[in-house]
Structure 1
Amino acid sequence: MSDYRDDKDIKRRRMLQGAGAAALGALSVSAAASAQAEEARRMSPAARNSGPLGARLQGVQHFGLTVQNMGRAFAFYTEVLGGTEVMSDGDFYGEPIHNTLLTDQDIEARVRNVNPRTMGIPDLRNGAQRLDVRFIQFDNVVIELLHYRDAGQPAGGGSAFAEPLDPTGPAFPRMMHICFHIRDDVDFNKFIADLEAESARRGMTQVRANRVLTVTTEQARRAAPMTANSYGITAGKSNGWRLIYCKGCEGEQLEFVQALGPVKRVFDGAREARRKRVG
């Protein structure tokens, strides 16, 4: 019996020693990261320009979305979702802007030995097509709407130069989504129901949220109970995370999330730690 206890004690000591070493290792890595961040913050401009790439950034400025109908998209992101316009600009064309945005696509067209127009590449260089943009501010990020149109179409409106590409599902590589953070005290399921209702009232029929329940028809999706409008995670590192995927008015992929409880503390702690490190 004594030998058994001794063996257990030895194993326990080794586990504690291992855990202690891991903790010290983590503290060492964290301290090193903090030291590097503090050093980056104190860099002179000349040193920063030769330093790590991350030290030269100050976060995400905006997410861009190319739209088929600028008026509809602008109304959705401002009147429905409540963003505020930062500015609008447009009628962009000419060689510098064309090359800045589309060089890669032009090269690909030459490699394939095809006319760039057949690949859906607009001709901003010669002005056959024009680009309009509108920036919309939300609490913590900006969304840019981009609209490529033929020169004969009215600025800020009219038909798009090209039709949307399919597929738009979130599982396809290179597909992106815009994620909106719902406030803590908001009823998530009611928010989704109200979003769909308001969008439908405006004729934005593409705005459709998924359901937690299995549905096989649009009629079944609409008939699902409101409690099926969001998926809540109650275990593991994501405990407190609630989400649903939704298509926007242009068919773009949106996500709505709410972060409460343990997962909220994880994100808040990470944000505060980074704030202290990078200032």
Structure 2
Amino acid sequence: MSNEPMNTNGLLDPDRRDVLRIAGSAAIGGIAANALALNDPALADNAASPTQVAAAGARDTAPLGVRLQGVQHFGLTVQNMDRAFAFYTEVLGGTEVMRDGDFQGEKIHNTLLTDQEILARERGVNPRTIGVPDLKGGGQRLDVRFVQFDNVVIELLQYRDAQQPMGSGDSWAEPRDHMSPTYPRSMHICFYIRDDVDFNTFIRDLEAESARRGMTQVKANRVITVTSEQERLAAPLDANTNKITEGKSNGWSLIYCKGPEGEQLEFVQALGPVKQTFEDAMAARRRMLAAAGG
């Protein structure tokens, strides 16, 4: 949990909150550029010149892809904020960028939920029945926390009843019953394991550390057939990794795993030919963006 100074409502003091918001925005905005610079030191020396800055307005007529600077964050709506935050910071080692919350009112409600309210009207149903909280009237509130990893940020979101304390306790809405990754619109977060780390041992330690913290949902799949939780736990260590050794994915290792909120996670390691494939693709993209004035 944060040790930041709080006011009597459990929120960050306004001055401190403003500082965190400004600092957090600056940190997040620089993540993509910093990650590229770490991988290619030459890029760190290529800061925009005054001429480039003056010409930046021309970018508004460029193709959409040239106007982007990468993926800023992945968002995950959680049932229990404190539990999810502990997993992504204390277990997986992310660092907090900032937290904010108690969002309510017409503007934020419309920003997030207009499409779902229109859908409810078209179907003639109460918006609540399709997961639309009352942020507009303040019956429910939204809290967020941003967690930074080396090359991307994860945003944790919790929608809660107004009377529910920030952070702890359950979400306003019930979690989904069916969490198969095969459903359309399902998404997952993929973490990249370092080249010199033993994949099988990492997955074993991830499960053990999560279990020690009472995060019983954190379960990784196995590459052999198991028919019960007991068999899954008893599987040999080398069943923790699917190592691909042929075809275009040669050198790719992966496993799927559920997170503490039931969210779909993936862990991968890219070595050999497949790593070169991704590096070549990144180099080609940089050349394309440079040619397009990006």
**Separation in structure 1 between the aligned mates of residue 254 and residue 53 of structure 2, nearest angstrom:** 39
The alpha-carbon deviation at position 275 of structure 1 amounts to 2.6
What is aligned with 1:156?
Answer: 167
Match of 1:107 in 2: 118
Cα displacement (A) at 1:216: 1.0
Q: Verify: 1:86 aligned to 2:79, yes or no.
A: no
Instruction: Give the Cα–Cα distance (whole angstroms) in 1 for the partners of residues 129 and 180 of structure 2.
Output: 24
In structure 1, what is the equivalent of residue 127 of structure 2? 116
What are the within-5 Å matches in structure 2 for residues 101-250 of structure 1?
A: 101-250=112-261
Structure-2 separation of matches of 1:212 and 1:121: 39
Q: Within 1, Cα distance between the matches of 2:204 and 2:286?
A: 36
Question: Mapping of 1:28-39 within 5 angstroms?
Answer: none
- The residue that corresponds to 1:65 in the other structure is 76
Matched, 1:74 2:85: yes
- Residue ranges of structure 2 left out of the alignment (5+ in a row): 1-51
Q: SS at the partner of 1:44?
A: helix
Name the Cα RMSD after superposition.
1.4
Is 1:98 equivalent to 2:109 in the alignment? yes
Deviations, residues 102-152 of structure 1 (Å, cap 9, x unaligned) = 001111111111111122210000100000000000000000000000000
The answer to whether the 8 Å contact 1:90/1:156 transfers is no
The TM-score with structure 1 as length reference comes to: 0.83
Q: CA offset at residue 43 of structure 1?
A: 9.7
Q: Mark the structure with the bigger radius of gyration.
A: 1
Q: Distance in 2 between matches of 1:262 and 1:82?
A: 29
- Runs (4+) of structure 1 exceeding 4 A deviation are none
Amino acid at match of 2:192: H
Contact 1:148 1:160 in 2 (8 A): yes
2-side partners of 1:50 and 1:264: how far apart? Answer: 34
| 1:242 match: secondary structure | strand
TM-score (norm 2): 0.79
Deviation at 1:190, TM superposition (A): 0.5
Equivalent pair of 1:60/1:141 in contact (CA under 8 Å): yes
SS at match of 1:49: helix
Tell me how far apart the structure 2 counterparts of residues 120 and 55 of structure 1 sit (CA, whole Å).
35
Task: Describe the SS at the equivalent of 2:61.
Answer: coil
Alignment partners' CA distance in 2, 1:42 and 1:273? 24
Structure 1: where are the runs of 5+ without partners? 1-40
* One-letter code aligned to 1:218: E
1:116 aligned partner, one-letter code: P
Could you tell me the percent identity over the aligned residues? 73
How many residues align? The count is 239
> Which residue is 2:289 aligned to?
278
